[in-house]
Amino acid sequence: MDSLLIKGGVPLHGEVAVSGSKNAVLPILAATLLTAEPCRIRRVPHLSDVRFMGRILESLGAKVSADGDGLRVQAKKIQGVGNYSLIRKMRGSVCILGPLLGRLREATVALPGGCVIGARPINLHLKGFAALGAKVTIEGGYVHTAARRLRGAELFLGGRAGSTVLGTANVMMAAALAEGVTIIESAACEPEIVDLAHFLSAMGAQITGAGSPILTITGVPELHGAEHEVIPDRIEAATYAIAAAATGGEVTITGARADHLHAVLDKLGEAGVQVRRQGTALRVRRGARLRPVDVTTLPYAGFPTDVQAQMMALMTLAPGISILTERIFESRFMHVSELARLGADIEIEGPSAIVKGGRPLSGAEVMASDLRASAALVVAGLAARGTTRVSRVYHIDRGYENLDGKLRKLGARIQRVSES
């Protein structure tokens, strides 16, 4: 098991390129199951989650191979039973249910795993499949869906924390091969859903309204192969922007989509961070003094839950009181106790974390609990005096391509070491 050893206090400077989006590429790879023809997906990030998804597709019968900066997938003959030993390792694997049901009219998939950040039930996914005419049962840790015919329907996918992103993706993929018209109300509006809709449209699907709360899918008899380039990872871009601000450096982030980052850039501006758009690049530098800000995570286009932990790390450095309220996942403050080991002063009150910022951070040994918590600890370690060791960084490898290598190119004193 690896850890990251960080000698902090060095401002980041230089240029860093954003990789393809983790949250977009997983459902897009799952969507290749909807056709027997070959598909080519470009700008695929080198992540452990992507490798797991490739292995899941292969376990179902698809052929997966490297192709330039991406992957080539052909699911000519597939089975509808998902392997528990693979699927249990990441929640994103649940998105194979929709395409398997759409193509085979039957699917049996193990309930998924992933980061421990609170309950993330798939009841809305199953509600959507049932609306399309599928019979859904859960037994022995597996979800079984089956339908003689899938028929379009009008359905509502809003939940306690708002729209479901993977649920929208799953139902959209199944509906692409259903008979008639499906209208999803309270559909997720995230850029990753729009990207999936673009790929499905390239395969011959008929989809309108992507990026809005009302998504309309007119089913077609079959889909064909297609080529697609994955959008840049907005969470990775936000993480590098926050790291630049936390260290007092100046970093140019290339290949970012500023239009996917409005809420993050707005809060960074409030905090005294200067962000200039230069074509498809963002130039980020910290102003003379960081200012505290209040943040509430919300579904897109609100502030993303996946950036809450990193923003909290930045706010520990801003003199004054910041309040970060988590409205998406109820257990997403597991990084708080680890930030406290670095010297942060944070109290939890219900769904909010109250950060009393401005105290200098000092290096310590900390342990990552999930993907974005890992990134927050790295940001804090970069800003802290002394040496920080972040253990269990396999979480980072799930969602950040070559994080330590990219940071080293920006001047960070960071190295990956093997734990005995």
Instruction: Report the relative pairing of strands 2-7 and 387-391 from DSSP bridges.
Output: antiparallel
Instruction: Report the relative pairing of strands 250-254 and 214-218 from DSSP bridges.
Output: unpaired
Listed residue (144, 136, 90) closest to 113, CA to CA: 90
CB 394 within 8 A of CB 378: no
Matching residue, tokens 């509006």: 189
Question: Measuring CA to CA, how many Å separate 255 from each of 1, 104, 260, 281?
Answer: 31, 38, 12, 6
Annotation says 189 is catalytic: no
- Active-site residue among 39, 95, 115, 189? 115
Distance between start and end Cα atoms, the chain: 8
- Rounded CA separation 3/5 (Å): 7
CB 141 within 8 A of CB 110: yes
CB 238 within 8 A of CB 261: yes
Beta bridge partners of 15: 252
- Rounded CA separation 61/67 (Å): 19
Strands (E) located in 112-152: 135-139, 142-146
Strands (E) located in 305-376: 320-325, 346-349, 352-357, 365-367
Which residues belong to the active site? Answer: 115
